[in-house]
Amino acid sequence: MLSVKDLHVNAGGKKILNGLSLDVKAGEVHAIMGPNGSGKSTLSQVIAGRDGYEVVSGSVTYLNQDLLALAPEERARAGVFLAFQYPVEIPGVNNTYLLKAALNAVRKQRGQPELDAFEFLSLIKTKMKLMQMDESFLNRGVNEGFSGGEKKRNEILQMAVLEPKLALLDETDSGLDIDALRVVAAGVNSLRDPSRAIVMVTHYQRLLDYIEPDFVHVLSGGRIIKSGDKQLAKELEKRGYDWVKQEAAA
Partner 1 sequence: MSASPAITAWQSAFATQPAVASKQRAFQDFLSRGLPTARDDAWKYTDLRRLAARSFKLPGTASDHLPSATHLITEASWHRLVFVDGHFSTMLSTKLPTGITLQQGEIESSHASFDLLNAALSQASTVIGVTASEQLKHPLYIAHIWSGEATEWMRHPRIAIRVAPQADVTLVEHFISPQGGQCFSNAVTTVEVADSAKVTHITLQEDGASNFHIAALRANVARGARYAHHHYVLGGTLSRTDIHATLNGEGAHVELSGLVMAQQTQHLDVRTCVEHQVPNATSDEEYRGIAGDRGRVVFNGKVIVAKDAQKTDARQSSRNLLLSPTAEIDTRPELEIYANDVKCAHGATVGQLDETALFYLRSRGIDLPTARGLLTQAFAASILNRASLQPIRERVLAAIAKRLNAREGSL
Task: For residues 168 and 47, give the distance between their C-alpha atoms in angstroms, rounded to a whole number.
Answer: 9
Among 11, 63, 68, 102, binds partner 1 (CB under 8 A): 102
Three-state DSSP class for 70? Answer: coil
- Does 7 bind partner 1 (CB under 8 A)? Our answer is no
- Does 26 bind partner 1 (CB under 8 A)? Our answer is no
Backbone angles phi, psi at 32, to 5 degrees: -110, 120
Among 11, 55, 68, 105, binds partner 1 (CB under 8 A): 105
Count of other CB atoms within 10 angstroms of residue 38:
25
C-alpha angle 195/154/182, rounded to 5°? 75
Nearest CA among 198, 187, 204 for reference residue 129: 187
Site string for partner 1, 46-85 (x = CB under 8 A): --xxxx-------------------xxx-xxx---xx-x-
The stretch among 55-63, 104-112, 179-187, 200-208 that binds partner 1 (CB under 8 A) is: 104-112
Question: In sequence order, what are the residues at sequence separation of 6 or more whose Cβ sits closer than 8 angstroms to the Cβ of residue 68?
Answer: 46, 55, 59, 60
Among 29, 133, 156, 162, binds partner 1 (CB under 8 A): 162
Our CB check for partner 1 shows the closer of 170 and 218 to be 170
Q: Under rule CB under 8 A, how many of the chain's residues touch partner 1?
A: 29
Three-state DSSP class for 196? Answer: coil
Sites of contact with partner 1 (CB under 8 A): 48-51, 71-73, 75-77, 81-82, 84, 87-88, 90-93, 98, 101-102, 105-106, 109, 141-142, 158, 162
